[in-house]
Amino acid sequence: MIPEFGQLTLTFAFALSVLLGVIPLIGSYTANERALLVAKPLSVGLFVFTLLAFLALSWAFYHDDFTVINVASNSSSILPWYFKLTATWGSHEGSMLLWVMILAAWTALVAQYSKGLPLLMQGRILGIMGLINVGFIAFSLFMSNPFERSLPFYPVEGSDLNPLLQDYGMIIHPPLLYMGYVGFAVSFAFAIAALLGGKFDSTWARWARPWTLAAWLFLTLGIMLGSWWAYKELGWGGWWFWDPVENASFMPWLVGTALIHSLAVTEKRGTFKSWTVLLALGAFSLSLMGAFLVRSGVLVSVHSFAADPERGVFLLIFLLLVIGGSLLLYASRMHSVRSQARYELFSREVMLWGNNVFLLTATLVVLLGTLFPLVHKELGLGSISIGEPFFNQMFYYLNIPFALLLGLGPWVRWKQQKAAPLLKPLSLVAIFALILALGTMAATQSIAANLALLGLLLGAWVGVSALFEIYQRLQQFGSVTAGVAKLQASHYGMTVAHIGFAVMIVGIAMTLTYSEERDVRMAIGDRVVLAGYEFELQDVYKLNGPNYGGEAAELDVRTVDGRYVTHLHAEKREYNIQRMVMTEAAIHARLSRDLYVSLGEALPGNAWAIRVYVKPFVRWIWLGGLLMAIGALISLLDKRYRRTGTQAGAQHA
Amino acid sequence: MRKVLFYIPLLAFLGLSLFLLSGLFSDPRERDSAIIGKPLPQFALPDLMSPEQIWTPENLKGEAYLLNVWGIWCPTCNAELGYMSQLRNEQGVRIIGLYYVLPEDPMFGEVFDLAKLQADVQSRLQAFGDPYQFNILDRQRRLSLDLGVSGAPEHFIVDANGIVRAHHIGDINPQVWRSKLAPIYQQWAAKP
């Protein structure tokens, strides 16, 4: 009964989304106020019905309703209850429903928090959100129905959730990531509404900014969590794989980052208009492209759902309508828009333009690297694969000028900046950064001219510059203490996010350079020494979990001079139903390094293959991502996003 | 000119979607085989049913054949047994099986049992049809690895001199046989 109820509510949601996609948009052209006013209740209703559908599916999973095909193939009765619930989005069908629910949630949020917007604009934005909803609900309902039954013959036991997904990371990684992907639909809707209205003053940019920041915040957290999860769960200490699906999430992130910066220029200076609109279209288009790549099976990836050309064709048509349609609208409307603002070569505008250039180059690199194998093959040139070396090398080259620019950018004023006043503070920053980088290196490793030194230098440059800049900005209020309360939240947010970037660069460079790993054969009592740590295998015993068996190893870690560090517990699980082997690595995390042990196969002679890693500064990568997300959150708290009326923000030039 | 500039994103996207469309209808896992045009790798493997018989590339020479990598654990392989039997009986295609043994996992209490395997294969072939002249037992999966096999079923056409002429990943059905494999097979079967 409940699954049918879910299907019914999803059908209602479909009807509501069609109404939402049609009535307010027509109303916006016939100046029918009642048609525009209906957008808000429709949006809320849409969210309520998709939420009910989602809850119905969760209920089916929670109660092991194996007559539902989706439940039978992605859950089992012995799965712990929290994984049963997360199995709701473990399959293509279920994750599509989650996607739809989150999209409707964003639509309802926009409806709730758009009181300051003119009614016309509000109706257009919600109408466009409605049209996007139509596409995804139709896809969920007609192409991948999550509620399909297998009556009258149904299995008595499910085939279990993929063990890879039986992890706490699974509970929040997909929802956060989807919040991010789908959140860019809001920026997209704002841009399309602006295109339809033909008005590109700075107001639309100010309205779009908080929504873009929120979406970017979730996407950042989602990607970071995915990286940490892979590190923990895949058992070989990698944290980024340049997998097509990771790339599919990285591209909207890069464009979204460019969009945040470009929106600032459009809001404050009224320029870069066509550029900003294109980025807003691009961020969501790349999210859609990501969904297509994951769900159509055109690329090989660990994340892929089962490939089905029919679904792919549906998504491709949807992609053509949404992306193609919006780019056509863009081309026909945007060419006549020109900005009047003037600025000099050395100005904040040009700095942010540089930021955009680097971020888009990076996007292009990722896009080419991801799709080139496909293009190459479809041209009949044979199969190739593009992997880590290509991406890593491109990102070294891109990151050096990008980081140098990032250290400089926040110091530069809008319109025009004289070089002389910046010379003194920036030389101070440079000297201080040099001392800090060399000092850190001397304290942790020996000084050498390598990637780690480069990373430390760039990271110190960006970080020290961000701190000095905010200090100098606070001083402009008279005294630092007086300035703390007066400075806008968005300025703090920017500083925190930039420091996050610095922390991440340091983490990546140090980990890449100084990680050590060894694959060893160990019997009980054996010891292995790596990077100044001594690992002793104390015991290996059989595991007995709810839906898995396997082995667990206990290790003691000491420093080489005998000081006790920690005790590690690594597992190798065999999941009974899916017959998959999963490693649960033992990780001892400190800010300066991770100790990482994963248990491998049993070898003859009562010994085991054990892989030991020491990864310096690896935490900094995720810490950096976390700081970026916190920066976005602080910016979101900025008062001027909460003010109503059109005069807000005008005084912050 | 400025107007044209704004159409670039649209054109780029449309160009890209052409590739995405064609990508939908081709298998991303399909690769060109590196082994085409080369002789079979060296091996000396026993016959599945009578293990005292050892097969090597040399004693397979003399007549072109279709080498089929399969196993009873593979449903698609079982499904194609019927059509391949038809090929053997009606068109006289020489088909040799390369039996791929799944790795045993002692964790799950599995051991290799030749007598049981022989009985299982026998009953499977009786049920679905037996296209094979004989089966080579690839116990250590060495030969399959050297051939670049990535799954089952896979098929190789080997000519009378032991040179690999075609590699097909996936099952053989009437369409695949007619359009892809039959022309190559007939070309090499005709030569002495």
What's the pLDDT tens digit per position in A349-367? 999 999 999 999 999 999 9
* Cα–Cα distance measured from residue A326 to residue A192, given in angstroms and rounded to the nearest whole number: 7
A308 part of contact set with chain B, CB < 8 Å: no
A648: pLDDT strictly greater than 50: no
B21 part of contact set with chain A, CB < 8 Å: yes
B15 part of contact set with chain A, CB < 8 Å: no
| Residue A473 buriedness (CB in 10 A; 0-12 / 13-18 / 19+) | middle
Report ipTM (2 d.p.): 0.82
Cross-strand partners of B166? B157
Contacts of B148 in chain A (CB under 8 A): none
Residue of higher predicted confidence among A338 and A85? A85
What's the pLDDT tens digit per position in A168-224? 877 889 899 999 999 999 999 999 999 998 877 778 888 899 999 999 999 999 999
* Cα–Cα distance measured from residue A231 to residue A586, given in angstroms and rounded to the nearest whole number: 11
* Cα–Cα distance measured from residue A385 to residue A247, given in angstroms and rounded to the nearest whole number: 14
Model pLDDT, residue A104:
97
What domains does chain B contain, in order, with CATH numbers? 33-190 (3.40.30.10)
pLDDT band at residue A296 using 50, 70 and 90 as cut-offs: confident
Q: Tell me how far CA of residue A626 lies from CA of A204, A409, A451, in angstroms.
A: 29, 22, 23
**DSSP character at residue B39:** B
Nearest Cα to Cα of residue A46 among A111, A96, A104: A104
Contacts of A281 in chain B (CB under 8 A): 9
Query: Helix, strand, coil proportions of chain B in percent (round to 5)?
Result: 45, 20, 40
Model pLDDT, residue A250:
94
B111 part of contact set with chain A, CB < 8 Å: no
Interface touch B5/A292, C-beta < 8 Å? no
Mutate to test the interface with A, among B10, B14, B36 (most CBs of A within 10 A): B10
Model pLDDT, residue A302:
56
For tokens 């209602």, the residue is A12
pLDDT band at residue A388 using 50, 70 and 90 as cut-offs: confident
Beta strands in A453-532 (DSSP E): 516-523, 527-530
What's the pLDDT tens digit per position in B118-155? 898 988 888 888 999 999 998 888 888 888 887 778 89
* Cα–Cα distance measured from residue B152 to residue B184, given in angstroms and rounded to the nearest whole number: 21
Average pLDDT over chain A, rounded to an integer: 89
Interface touch B10/A309, C-beta < 8 Å? no
Residue of higher predicted confidence among B31 and A115? A115
**DSSP character at residue B47:** B
pLDDT band at residue B192 using 50, 70 and 90 as cut-offs: low
The SS3 call for residue A574 is strand
Mean pLDDT of A384-406: 88
pLDDT band at residue A647 using 50, 70 and 90 as cut-offs: very low
Lowest-confidence range among A47-51, A274-278, A375-379, A437-441?
A375-379
Model pLDDT, residue A653:
32
Lowest-confidence range among A488-502, B10-24, B27-41?
B27-41
What's the pLDDT tens digit per position in B45-70? 999 888 888 898 888 888 889 999 99
What's the pLDDT tens digit per position in A594-607? 999 999 888 888 88
Cross-strand partners of A544? A549
The SS3 call for residue A38 is coil
Interface touch A331/B14, C-beta < 8 Å? no
Q: How far is A352 from chain B (nearest CA, A)?
A: 21
A374 part of contact set with chain B, CB < 8 Å: yes
For tokens 């292009």, the residue is A364
* Cα–Cα distance measured from residue A236 to residue A518, given in angstroms and rounded to the nearest whole number: 11
Residue of higher predicted confidence among A299 and B72? B72
Neighbours of A198 (CB within 10 A): 10
* Cα–Cα distance measured from residue A356 to residue A334, given in angstroms and rounded to the nearest whole number: 19
B28: pLDDT strictly greater than 60: no
Mutate to test the interface with A, among B1, B6, B16 (most CBs of A within 10 A): B6
Model pLDDT, residue A378:
79
pLDDT band at residue A652 using 50, 70 and 90 as cut-offs: very low
